[in-house]
Structure 1
Amino acid sequence: MDKTEALFVEVGHQMLLRNDWVTPWWNDSTFFDYPVWGYWMVALSFRLFGVSEAAARLPVAVAASAVVLATFGLLLLWAPAGESRLKAVARAGVAAGVLATTPAWIGWGRTSTTDMFLSSAITLALFSYLVAERDPSNRRLIAMGRVGMACFVGIAVLAKGPVGLLLPAIVIGADLLVRGHWSRWLRPFPLAAMTLLFCGIALPWYAAATAVHGQAFLGGFLGFSNLERFTSVLYDHPGPPWFYLPWLLLLLLPWSPFLPQAIARAAPWPLARARQADAPALPAILLLWLVLIVAFFSAAATKLPGYILPAIPAASLLVALLWHPLSTDRRDRQAPPTWAFASWLNIALLAGGSAAAALAPSWVSRDRAFPQFAAALSASGLPQLLAVLLGLAALVGLALMLGRRNDWIWLPNLAGFLAVLFGVVAPLGPLLDRERQLPLRELQQLAGSQSRPDEPLWVVGTMRYSTLFYGGRSAVFLGDASDVKDLWRQDPSLLAIQPASVSALLLGDRHKLDGFALPADRVERLGQRGVQELWRVSLDELRPRKRSRNRKAS
């Protein structure tokens, strides 16, 4: 783990160590960037299974898997009356498989950050709404849907704040406005019960955090992490209004060639058709879900690919319904005119991915920070296996196209990417950890074990947030040697220098550490792994020199 994931996990780790379930702590300071749900899940996993990377990632994997299973169940529920069980199961299986094989769900479902917790909660909340909308005469489904909505929206607000309520409200409100179903959702008693359940889940922690920290929490969380993130560019993450369009296609591969026609089929043209009793409600709701969430984050000033993760389930279901529509109308079951083009593009992407996989070792060999990684990657056989699997999927797709069976083009996609998921992605994680993370982790653990009382640890260069988790101690993060001079002149405590401190530990890339321009005999090199080094240096060598006041004018 490193960077954002390591930061997120360490906050949960600190909750467990401090036994403080109200205040998020990171690097000996309160950390109000995100609410508490994800931290609670990580801390609970650590308590049950021990502190490890696997335990840190288990909650997010469970959340992602829950959405895949819920996708299967939702499509079974929405199967047309009188349809054979086999067709219903096939549709549900394809929908769940499409979502499970997207890069979005594969990647974020294995990364312990707040994005998947928010996305899974929003998805399950909207799925609950779809459960309630399935049959207006079925009180049991309506009750289940209402309870699910209140619970999962509450969890979404605990996972990332007001956006967890705002996004489902926008989607549901737009759907009710389009289809005119407001009346049954505004009945006082059910609405009050949902509100109480939501407040009972979401508000206690916010009330406790406000009681303990007051304005520091309200300003740091609501002001900085929510309002400013939407209205201002934070952490150097800008983007144009169309920023998410290419990312949506990338995160939906290999299914993205079929998304435009899936959108075209789902659109209620004209809009008046959406109010008809026999209108296909599910595709129209999914389309609103996809468009409104992407539009919402496109309007925000700060942009990151993971923000549109809540839109991926809607896009996945739309694509799956392209092959297995819910409508019994023969016109809706006919292949769209652009189907052949999308299918050929899909085959070209698979073939291109196969060629890229075969060339991957030569590309990664250019990474000077990890010169041995290319050889280890090639020796593992994973690039070759990936190339074969994608190549086979492309060949099967080609055979289907030549046999005029492009309505089955989903099969090589699904089978090929499931094989990639279990045959390549699963063993690739340990390889990446061993070759790229283990050397740094060993230095971080060494920094924790070798540190002396009152000795600060400075991480120079790349922000290795994982240092806190693996080193078991706080650290000061610096860009380069000049930061030491600037901070020392302001206040030595900004560098974690105590009155009893006599030396500092420096961890970073060799070229960054060389920027201190220290004589070799004044540096105690405690460890080296590749280009990463750990030094101990006397503070006398690092102290900024006073400028002479008697400099002669030249």
Structure 2
Amino acid sequence: MTGHNLSSPKETERASRIATLSPVLVALAVFGVYLSLGSRTTFWDRDEPRFARAAVEMLESGDYMVITFNHESWPDKPVFTYWLMALAIRVLGPTELACRLFGVIGTALTCGATFYIGRKLLGRQAGLWAMLMLASTLQMLVIGAAATSDAVLLPFTIGAMAVFSSTRETRVRPVHVILIGLATGLAMLIKGPMGLMPALAIGAVSLLDRERRKSGLGLMGASVVMGTIIFCAWAVPASMAAEGGFLREFIGRHVIGRALKPMESHGGNILLYLPYYIPVVIGGFFPWTLHLPGAMSALLRRHLVGPSDRRFFLGWIVPPFVLMSLAATKLPHYIVFIWPALALLCGGVIVAARAGTLAPKDKDWLRGGVWFFGPVAAAVGLGLVVGPWFVPVPGMRAWGAAGGAVILTMAALAVREHLADRPQRSAIVLILGMVAFQIPLQAGLLPAVEQVKISPALAREVNEHTGPDVPVAAYKYGEPTLNFYLGRRIEYLDSADAVLAWATQPGPGVLIIPTDRLVPIRERADNLPLEEIATVKGFNYSKGKPLEVVALYRGDIR
């Protein structure tokens, strides 16, 4: 008995240490997996190379106020993401991993903030589950290691929600206002009005909660004011430096314009009039749609959290979902702000199921998750197995079959456990399956796809044959990856006549043109004074078609 009493404090201390370190270890594991994921591919058109090239040009020019792409004003997004990329590039060089680094860091920090909220509202175990769930969704795998602004934005918006969650236990203090205001301002410097998502959620929660309505609305108002001041501290001088162009273009086109009409073919079809983001959740939140219906049922039926925390989650999820559904331009990542909330609810429902606190209806909805999960699992798994047979890429069939086998096996085992009322076991299967899927994904599938990317190979050939001062023009091929990998300004020609005029100009130059566009131009010209230096066949995934592109040299290449 004495020995037991002596060892008990050590066991307690060890358990406490493990409990303290577990979220840190999960965040580090997420960082490692996503860092590896970000190192496996060249950039994907079109957003990644635009961000990356703009950051490189920022370093080259030394102008950290006005953003340019292809040495022209680029008011697509505010400046903070470019600053972070430029910092990483200065340290690591202009590589893909450098440009993706802060997105990877952001993903790990977002998981950490999600755990913090879960610990406050649902308990430590639910918070740990939520971290793993969030990191393993398809949507996070797409954006979490990308050289774009989404994963950089999330730690600030979810961080603001984490601070707000801490006010649920006490009154709003000045430190809460400062932290949420600062997070809002930096989020706006990353993605403009999208950085106001926490303020929207805080306002909605406050309207639902009579007891905290006044303080909550005051916190929302203060965060909007502070965020706007921080945003304008850069945006106003930057717009003045660009002769008013930034605010006019960014606010007018990219904010108001996207809200009122579909842009860049995003939303301009029948999906505009349908609940677009429901299939986005079903697909993008995979594989955790297996548990999501039960989680939503338990939330709505008041079996998961108390009334105050129920309002917290409803205010977090519903307004952004509705607002983005009403906007004309729709993209899947526009609602990724609610992903941590969904992950927390799914983590909570697993803990509640194990504790036996779910109602029969909740259990029915939990089992019913197979109807949302199953079709996506079958589509992804069978697509990986069958799809490579229609794409002649060496190695793709074997690795596709391996990846598809992992997904289909994971799905079958998870569904079996789930229908046997063992949701925790089904969740463990999903975690292990998504981790196992990283092996064929990173070792085979992504490297195989590199073989059909056109711009990196074409740029490599051009840079080997010509010096960095030789000007480059392009006709009917305008993928931004070419800008990044060439590392030069590209003159875009708008007609066949412009190509003919360019070809007869004095001095050296390189023309990038699809082969099928070159043939009729050669037929018009008796003797086109251009020498072929490279031809690359591949797949233009931005256009969804195979393509052959040729690089032609003007002048004496010798």
- The answer for the alignment partner of 2:126 in structure 1 is 91
Structure 2, unpaired ranges of 5+: 1-42, 538-547
Alpha-carbon distance change, 195 to 335 in structure 1, aligned in 2, over 3 angstroms: closer
Alpha-carbon distance change, 25 to 265 in structure 1, aligned in 2, over 3 angstroms: same
Give distance in 2, aligned partners of 1:502 and 1:309.
50
Partner of 1:312: helix, strand, or coil?
Answer: helix
Structure 1 residue identity aligned to 2:344: L
Matches within 5 A, 1:415-426: 415-421=432-438, 423-426=439-442
Give distance in 1, aligned partners of 2:385 and 2:505.
56
Alpha-carbon distance change, 394 to 198 in structure 1, aligned in 2, over 3 angstroms: closer
- The answer for the alignment partner of 1:204 in structure 2 is 233
Say whether the 8 Å CA contact 1:261–1:336 is kept in structure 2: yes
- The answer for the alignment partner of 1:150 in structure 2 is 181
Give distance in 1, aligned partners of 2:190 and 2:371.
41
Say whether the 8 Å CA contact 2:186–2:230 is kept in structure 1: yes
- The answer for the alignment partner of 2:482 in structure 1 is 467
- The answer for the alignment partner of 2:18 in structure 1 is none
Per-residue Cα deviation, 1:338-360 (whole angstroms, up to 9, x for no partner): 22232465356545543433323
Give distance in 1, aligned partners of 2:349 and 2:112.
20
Alpha-carbon distance change, 185 to 345 in structure 1, aligned in 2, over 3 angstroms: closer
2:135 maps to 1:78: no
Partner of 2:368: helix, strand, or coil?
Answer: helix
Say whether the 8 Å CA contact 1:185–1:191 is kept in structure 2: yes
Partner of 1:517: helix, strand, or coil?
Answer: helix
Matches within 5 A, 1:306-345: 306-325=333-352, 330-331=357-358, 335-343=362-370
- The answer for the alignment partner of 1:35 in structure 2 is 78
- The answer for the alignment partner of 1:524 in structure 2 is 531
- The answer for the alignment partner of 1:542 in structure 2 is none
- The answer for the alignment partner of 1:100 in structure 2 is 135
Q: Select between 225-234 and 391-400 the one with higher mean Cα deviation.
A: 391-400
Q: Aligned to 1:346, which of 373, 376, 396?
A: 373
Matches within 5 A, 1:370-449: 373=393, 375-378=394-397, 381-401=398-418, 403-421=420-438, 423-428=439-444, 431-432=447-448, 434-437=450-453, 440-448=455-463
Give distance in 2, aligned partners of 1:412 and 1:328.
20
Question: How far is 1:451 from its partner?
Answer: 5.2
Give distance in 1, aligned partners of 2:375 and 2:264.
37
- The answer for the alignment partner of 1:173 in structure 2 is 203
2:292 maps to 1:252: no
Question: How far is 1:186 from its partner?
Answer: 6.1
Give distance in 2, aligned partners of 1:520 and 1:95.
67
Partner of 1:337: helix, strand, or coil?
Answer: helix
Alpha-carbon distance change, 351 to 359 in structure 1, aligned in 2, over 3 angstroms: same
Question: How far is 1:502 from its partner?
Answer: 4.7
Say whether the 8 Å CA contact 1:348–1:394 is kept in structure 2: no
Per-residue Cα deviation, 1:494-534 (whole angstroms, up to 9, x for no partner): x8x9x974565221332233242346963410111222211
2:525 maps to 1:483: no
Per-residue Cα deviation, 1:159-202 (whole angstroms, up to 9, x for no partner): 1113312x222211111011121233467xx8898678646643
Partner of 2:208: helix, strand, or coil?
Answer: helix
- The answer for the alignment partner of 1:17 in structure 2 is 60
2:199 maps to 1:163: no
Question: How far is 1:441 from its partner?
Answer: 1.4
- The answer for the alignment partner of 1:301 in structure 2 is 328
Alpha-carbon distance change, 433 to 338 in structure 1, aligned in 2, over 3 angstroms: closer
Structure 1 residue identity aligned to 2:164: Y
Alpha-carbon distance change, 184 to 304 in structure 1, aligned in 2, over 3 angstroms: closer
Partner of 1:459: helix, strand, or coil?
Answer: strand
Give distance in 2, aligned partners of 1:359 and 1:191.
50
Question: How far is 1:449 from its partner?
Answer: 5.5
2:518 maps to 1:506: no
Structure 1 residue identity aligned to 2:337: P
Partner of 1:22: helix, strand, or coil?
Answer: coil
Alpha-carbon distance change, 506 to 353 in structure 1, aligned in 2, over 3 angstroms: same
Structure 1, unpaired ranges of 5+: 80-87, 366-372, 539-554
Say whether the 8 Å CA contact 2:110–2:154 is kept in structure 1: no
- The CA RMSD over aligned residues, in Å, is 3.5
- The answer for the alignment partner of 2:264 in structure 1 is 235
Report percent identity of matched pairs.
Answer: 21
TM-score under structure 2 normalisation?
Answer: 0.79
Question: How far is 1:415 from its partner?
Answer: 1.7
Q: Aligned to 1:132, which of 151, 167, 171?
A: 167
Question: How far is 1:488 from its partner?
Answer: 8.2
Q: Select between 335-344 and 515-524 the one with higher mean Cα deviation.
A: 515-524
Q: Select between 425-434 and 354-363 the one with higher mean Cα deviation.
A: 425-434
Per-residue Cα deviation, 1:322-344 (whole angstroms, up to 9, x for no partner): 22249999356984322223246
